[in-house]
């Protein structure tokens, strides 16, 4: 699921472009930064995974701290929506839960594009109201659907190799140390 093919099963490429166009429109009308992220990894706690992803994507480094991330874990069939501290300050305490519940209803009905567009509409309303576009605003982050970087298949073998080399070195040291005792 490291490529668009995984999302293509739920949302066709034309609708993915509609989502990207919506994000671009939000960012032209506000100073906010919005992203959709698709994970190929199962998660137990989608909110915690979304927060980690939010940070790893650099969304905490926006000037006004007004980024919003929609996080989707396809294998777990779980999702979360998180906003940075600037958005949290101006939105009601149950705002993210309400967005999650609305998206959940649409997803349950199989309306993935409409669920995401509905959330983006509500995010747009808050960002335009509290963080309107001003002359000189910069687009601080890419307007894209991001994906997990591919996992290295070599990593387990590197670990095993490191353990084998360490064991061989320790055995060699042991033989050198105790050869004088025998």
What tens digit of pLDDT does each residue of 54-81 get?
999 999 998 899 999 999 999 989 999 9
Residues 6+ apart with CB under 8 A from 144: 20, 35
Sheet holding 33-39, edge to edge: 78-83, 67-73, 33-39, 145-147
DSSP 135: T
Average pLDDT value for residue range 127-144: 87
Buried-exposed string 106-136: b where 16+ CB fall within 10 A, e elsewhere = bbeeeebbebbbbbbebbbebbeebbeeeee
Going 115 to 10 to 79 to 88, the CA torsion angle's sign is: negative
- How confident is the model over 93-118, as pLDDT tens digits? 889 999 999 999 999 999 999 999 99
Q: Place 173 in a pLDDT band, splitting at 50, 70 and 90.
A: confident
Q: Which residues pair with 81 in a beta bridge?
A: 70
Q: In this structure, what token pair is assigned to residue 90?
A: 């101006």
DSSP 64: T
Q: How far apart are CA 13 and CA 8, in angstroms?
A: 6
The pLDDT, as a whole number, for residue 182 is 57
| Strand 145-147 versus strand 33-39 pairing type | parallel
Reference 50, options 62, 66, 61, 38; nearest CA is 38
This prediction has a pTM of 0.78
């Amino acid at each position: 699921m490291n490529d668009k093919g995984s999302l293509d099963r739920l949302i066709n490429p034309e609708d993915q472009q509609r989502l990207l166009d919506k994000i671009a429109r939000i960012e032209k009308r506000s100073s906010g930064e919005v992203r959709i992220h698709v994970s190929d990894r199962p998660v137990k706690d989608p909110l915690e995974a979304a927060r980690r992803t939010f940070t790893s994507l650099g969304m905490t480094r926006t000037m006004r701290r007004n980024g919003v991330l929609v996080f989707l874990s396809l294998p777990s069939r779980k999702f979360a929506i998180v906003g940075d501290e600037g958005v949290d300050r101006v939105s009601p305490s149950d705002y993210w839960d309400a967005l999650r519940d609305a998206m959940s209803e649409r997803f349950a009905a199989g309306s993935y594009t409409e669920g995401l567009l509905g959330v983006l509409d509500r995010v747009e309303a808050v960002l335009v109201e509290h963080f309107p576009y001003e002359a000189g605003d910069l687009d601080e982050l890419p307007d894209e659907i991001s994906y997990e970087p591919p996992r290295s298949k070599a990593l387990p073998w590197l670990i095993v190799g490191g353990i084998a080399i360490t064991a061989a070195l320790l055995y060699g040291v042991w033989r050198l140390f105790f050869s004088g005792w025998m």
